Structure 1
Amino acid sequence: MSEHDESFADQNFDTIFRQVMQELGVSRMVEDYRIKADPDAPYFIISLRLGKARSSVKVSDMALIDQASGGSKITIIDENWAPALLTKLWQLYGRDAVEQLTRFELIVTGPGPEIISNLELDPGEELRTKVLDAVWRVFPEGFKVRYNLANDKAMTIIGTEHDMQEEWMKLAEELHKEMGAS
């Protein structure tokens, strides 16, 4: 592959990844990223420096919780948390137990207000999930052999469709350090 072709491919990966991050609303959560691909090897590396997520928050700090027949009524007062709260409630109690009356009003069958009030949402977990979703959307489909590095500051994933080479893993580790991982 010529240098021109590689440059064109790199620009396309960059453009696609930026669009995917924007669609998923995670552009501000990723401070920096690098994509390296060598189609002749072949490998694909993506490394991201993650922004600081907000600290955990209790449901009682983002919503009003009242007793409801057979459970709890939740009125969300901080709309930024609405999607994360709904997802958390579905995970814990199932979709059948969570009724969405309006955009910001929910009825949860089962747990009482005290239990719901003390639930905590971890935005860092949500951040990692959304960022990983963006990564998988741009990652070449056939590259199933993977090596992952992750901590609170950075995430690096290298993939190939062949056996993973030690030198590629070292490249990924170097890139991971460049992204601020300790």
Structure 2
Amino acid sequence: MLVECYDERGAEVYEIIIKQIFQDLVLGSSVDDLKAYVNPDDPVFVLAIKMRKTSNVIKFEDVANLMYNKQNDVTTILIDNENYLPNILKELWKRFSRDEIYQPNRYQLEIKGDFTELGSIVVDDPHSNLRRRIYDAVFRILPEGFKIIKDLSTEDIVTVVATDELIKDAWIEKALEFIDELNKGI
């Protein structure tokens, strides 16, 4: 972690703030590196956070078996991994009313009709979940009043430039340098 600031004490304070927020949100092990630039004289805050690699997306077919009974015209979903049941229900409720989903027990769901194509639907995306949690941290870290924000994030690096005035090209260049350095592991 590197916090650049002409004021050494200010850099230390921001480093403490960042570490505390990461600890509160349990993000420490999910981040490879972080670079921040703070300049109170030129009100700007640049933050770039490199995310660790996450596991692949989890689809219905990875955590449940879908079977269609043509005779009864019912798709039965047998849950293999109960940990994903809330996510499965959430996805089903996006597509069906709660009344259309019958749950005779914790590990079984039934829907009238042939819905075996649900197998390819994503029920959990660890990369997206981590990205959302990192954005939560970013908005907690940014100084109060810095409402003008430019998001320069890439696939695995969350990067923002924040200020309370017009964003300068030099600040964007600084953010792009951070992205380049984090990609190279500098």
Q: Which bracket does the TM-score occupy, shorter chain normalised?
A: 0.7 to 0.9
Stretch of structure 1 that moved more, 116-125 or 150-159 = 116-125
Identify if the C-alpha distance between structure 1 residues 19 and 119 changes in structure 2 by more than 3 Å, giving closer, same or farther. Answer: same
Are 1:152 and 2:155 counterparts? yes
Stretch of structure 1 that moved more, 69-78 or 145-154 = 69-78
Are 1:134 and 2:137 counterparts? yes
- 1:35–1:46 contact (8 Å) kept in structure 2: yes
Q: Percent identity between the aligned chains?
A: 22
The aligned amino acid for 1:123 is P
The size of the alignment, in residue pairs, is 177
Identify if the C-alpha distance between structure 1 residues 134 and 63 changes in structure 2 by more than 3 Å, giving closer, same or farther. Answer: farther
SS at match of 1:178: helix
CA distance in 2, matches of 1:154, 1:36: 15
- 1:55–1:123 contact (8 Å) kept in structure 2: yes
The aligned residue for residue 11 of structure 2 is 7
Deviation at 1:48, TM superposition (A): 1.0
1:79-104 deviation line (CA, Å, top 9, x unaligned):
564565455445x3378469797xx6
CA distance in 1, matches of 2:12, 2:41: 15
Stretch of structure 1 that moved more, 160-169 or 81-90 = 81-90
Deviation at 1:175, TM superposition (A): 0.9
CA distance in 1, matches of 2:45, 2:102: 42
SS at match of 1:150: coil
CA distance in 2, matches of 1:27, 1:79: 27
The aligned residue for residue 181 of structure 2 is 178
Unaligned runs of 5+ in 2: none
TM-score normalised per structure 2 = 0.71
Stretch of structure 1 that moved more, 55-64 or 167-176 = 55-64
Identify if the C-alpha distance between structure 1 residues 107 and 82 changes in structure 2 by more than 3 Å, giving closer, same or farther. Answer: closer
Deviation at 1:11, TM superposition (A): 2.6
Alignment of 1:30-179 (within 5 A): 30-65=31-66, 74-78=77-81, 81-82=84-85, 84-90=87-93, 92-93=94-95, 96=98, 105=107, 107=109, 112-120=114-122, 121-179=124-182
TM-score normalised per structure 1 = 0.72
CA RMSD of aligned residues (A): 3.7
1:18-73 deviation line (CA, Å, top 9, x unaligned):
22430xxx443321112322222111121111222222332111123456999755
Identify if the C-alpha distance between structure 1 residues 110 and 46 changes in structure 2 by more than 3 Å, giving closer, same or farther. Answer: farther
SS at match of 2:56: coil
